[in-house]
Structures are given as structure tokens and as C-alpha cells.
């Protein structure tokens, strides 16, 4: 079980949390490939007016202080939307990441995923990044500036260490071929996602994973200033 605190200064942002253990890193639900192929075909068409409104609301969700969600700072869901329109452009990483990307593309919201064993803690908080905060997000050593960006932090000895964002997640806690315990955060604008709808997406996340018998799956939704145990 982990605890997650939504400390974002935005009452219009909900966080959907999924925790699963153990998971198969090399597989997904048997029906997942069919669902993904159908979605990729759908996403090659222009977004509907309702879908475009969600995309814009997600961008607005990231407009905080000096942070502007444009260019390379766009939410990860927009990268996936562009990739879906390219032949063989959609990434295939591993089971949990593929499920994460599928749901992000389906609902047009960014989703973070991290390895709970690599995180090494059970307490997490989501807030805006502080001036000077950065982390490495890929094996090339590239860093992302976190100031005023929504960040998810692991709490280590009372200190908050950013590990995920709606744009790029930290290399330090990304899944590997040894991952067996995961957590995910779905960042959702309340204008388009009620608690009930977001809870349903969290449940769908769990259904699409491949998990052996005896697995544990827990989900929850955290509103502003709310702490949940999952």
C-alpha cells in the first residue's frame, strides 16, 4: 500500500492512482493488441470537437506560473497522438508502459508510470516543481526543468524528490525488465473527468495488465488537498 497526497494548488485537477503487484513486464491482457490496433486506426482521424476540448483542457492544466506546455514541453499524451498518425510510429516498450500509452492516447490525458521498488518508498506527493529542480529523463543524460511543472515526488527521509511529470518521467524510477511492482498516475482535468469516470479508467488500466494469480490491484482518486491510501 502507498499513500498519495495531492498538494497541487489547483482544485480543477484530479489524480487517478493505480497500484499493481506483481505484473508481467513482458505481456498484456490477451485482448490488448486488438484494442490498440483499433484505437490507432481511430486516432489517425481528426479529433472530434469534444476530444479537442479535452486536449486543450489538458494543456491548460499544465499552465502554471512560468511553465508553458508548448513545443517540447507538451503533455506526453500529445506526443502519443502525433506518433499514432505515423506508420509504425507508436512506441512499444513493455506490457505496463504499453497499457499506459494506450490509455493516454484513448483518453487524451498524460499518465505517469513508475517502478515502486526503484522508488523505494511508500509515500508520494504531487505539487508544482520548485526553481532549480531538474531530473534526468533518458539514458542520454538529458534533463527536464521542473519549475512550475506538475511533479510527483517520492518522500525520502522527509524530503520530496521529483520522479514523474505529465511530460517525461525520471529515468531513476522507470520500469525495467525486472519490474514487478508498479504505480501509475493519471492527470485529469475535472472539467472533463468526474471522480467516477476517472475511477473507471483506473480500473481499465488494471484490467489490461497481465498479472499472475494472487496479484494485488488497488486504485483511487485524489482531489486537491486530499491524501489517499492505495
Q: Tens digit of pLDDT for each residue in 171-213?
A: 999 999 999 999 999 999 999 999 999 999 999 999 999 999 8
Confidence of residue 90 (pLDDT cuts 50, 70, 90): confident
Contacts of 185 (CB under 8 A, 6+ apart): 4, 15, 16, 17, 18, 111, 112, 126, 152, 164
- Kindly give the interhelix angle for 76-84 and 32-43, rounded to the nearest 10 degrees: 80
Mean pLDDT for the stretch of residues 1-10:
97
Q: Which three cell numbers stand for residue 102?
A: 494506450
What are the strands of the beta sheet with 111-115, ordered from one edge?
111-115, 182-189, 13-21, 216-222
- Indicate which CATH number applies to the domain containing 200: 3.50.40.10
Residue 27 grid cell: 505481456
Tell me the pLDDT of the chain averaged across its residues.
96
Q: What is the pLDDT of residue 86?
A: 84
Structural domains in the chain (count): 1
pLDDT class for 106, splitting at 50, 70, 90?
Answer: very high
Please give the residue range of the domain that contains residue 217.
Answer: 3-229
pTM of the shown model: 0.97
Amino acid at each position: 500500500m502507498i499513500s498519495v497526497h495531492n498538494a497541487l494548488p489547483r482544485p480543477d485537477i484530479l489524480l487517478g492512482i493505480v497500484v499493481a503487484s506483481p505484473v508481467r513486464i513482458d505481456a498484456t491482457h490477451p485482448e490488448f493488441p486488438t484494442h490498440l490496433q483499433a484505437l490507432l486506426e481511430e486516432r489517425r482521424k481528426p479529433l472530434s470537437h469534444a476530444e479537442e476540448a479535452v486536449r486543450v483542457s489538458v494543456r491548460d492544466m499544465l499552465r502554471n506560473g512560468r511553465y508553458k506546455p508548448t513545443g517540447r514541453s507538451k503533455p506526453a499524451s500529445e506526443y502519443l497522438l502525433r506518433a499514432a498518425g505515423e506508420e509504425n510510429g507508436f512506441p512499444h516498450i513493455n506490457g505496463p508502459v504499453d497499457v499506459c500509452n494506450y490509455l493516454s492516447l484513448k483518453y487524451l490525458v498524460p499518465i505517469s508510470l513508475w517502478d515502486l521498488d526503484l522508488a523505494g518508498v511508500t509515500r508520494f506527493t504531487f505539487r508544482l516543481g520548485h526553481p532549480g529542480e531538474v531530473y534526468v529523463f533518458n539514458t542520454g543524460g538529458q534533463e527536464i526543468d521542473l519549475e512550475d511543472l506538475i511533479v510527483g515526488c517520492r518522500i525520502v527521509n522527509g524530503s520530496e524528490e521529483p520522479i514523474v511529470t505529465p511530460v517525461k518521467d525520471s529515468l531513476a524510477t522507470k520500469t525495467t525488465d525486472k519490474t514487478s511492482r508498479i504505480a501509475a498516475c493519471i492527470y485529469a482535468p475535472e472539467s472533463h473527468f468526474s471522480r467516477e469516470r476517472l475511477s473507471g479508467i483506473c480500473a481499465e488500466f488494471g484490467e489490461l495488465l497481465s498479472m499472475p494469480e494472487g496479484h494485488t490491484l488497488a486504485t483511487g482518486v485524489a482531489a486537491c488537498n486530499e491524501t489517499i491510501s492505495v
